[in-house]
Amino acid sequence: MKKLLFPVSLLIVAFIVLPSWAAPRAARVGGRRGLRPRPFVRRPTIIAPRVIERPLIVPAPIRPLQNVEPTIAAPPGQPRKVSQIGIAGGYFGGIPAVVGEVRWFEPWGLSSTSLRLGAAYAQGNDPNSITRKHALVMVDGIYHLNPVNTPGVNPYLGAGVNYDAYTTGRVSGSIGGEVYFGLEAGTLDSGQVFLELGYGKIRTGFGPSTSGVNLTAGFRF
C-alpha cells in the first residue's frame, strides 16, 4: 500500500503543475496579475460621402413674343432703298436737253449695279443746221465702282441705248446710244447730287445723226 502511494502522488502533482507550464506566456502573466487578455479586433473604417447642398433654381417660363419682328440694320454700302427718281439738265448728244429718270438698285441680284429708265427732251440744230426737237426714251446699265450707298463721293460708269420716239415732223426716229462717267454724292435717304460726262448720239433714221458731248447735272431722291 505504501509502495503505491508515492507513484499516485507524483501523478497528482504532474496533473496540477504541467497544464500551467504548457499554457502561453501571456496567459500565465495575465493569470499572475489577475487580468484576462483582450482579443484584438480590427474594425473597418467607414468614410461617409461628402454631401453638397445646392439651392434649387426653378427657371422662369419662357413666354413667346407676339408680333415682334427683329430689326436688322443694313450693312454699310448696301442699298436700303430699291429705287430712286432723278431729274437733270445739260447737254445730250451735243444739244441742250432735260432728262428725267427712275433708277433701280442691283437688278436680278447683280451687286454694285443699277438699271436706269429715262426720258429726255432735247432741242438743237442737226448737222444740216436744221433745228429739231427730240423726245427720247433711254435704258441704261450702271456699274458702281464703290458699293451703293457708300459715304462720300462715288464714281460709276454707264452705257445704254436711246430711241427717238418723236422728232420734228411728227415722225419717230431710230436707235442711238450713250456712254458716260458719273460722280454722285450724298445718301439714298437724304438724296444725291450727280454729274455725268460722256458721249451720245441721236438718230432720226431719215436724216443725219446728232451726236456730241453728254454733260448733265442733277439730283436724285
| Cα–Cα dist 30/45, whole Å | 30
Cα 186 to Cα 193: distance, rounded to the nearest angstrom: 7
Q: What is the rounded average pLDDT of the residues 56-65?
A: 67
Quick check: 147 pLDDT over 50?
yes
Q: How confident is the model at residue 94 (pLDDT cuts 50, 70, 90)?
A: very high
Query: Is it the case that residue 160 has pLDDT exceeding 90?
Result: yes
The full set of domain ranges for the chain reads: 85-220
The pTM (predicted TM-score) of the whole model is 0.64
User: Percent of the chain having pLDDT more than 90?
Assistant: 52
* Weakest-pLDDT range from 102-106, 134-138, 150-154, 212-216: 150-154
Predicted local confidence at residue 17, as pLDDT? 58
Determine the pLDDT at residue 116: 98
Domain at 85-220: CATH architecture: Beta Barrel (2.40)
Please state which of the ranges 18-27, 139-148, 185-194 shows the lowest mean pLDDT.
Answer: 18-27
Split at pLDDT 50, 70, 90, the class of 169 is confident
149 pLDDT higher than 70: yes
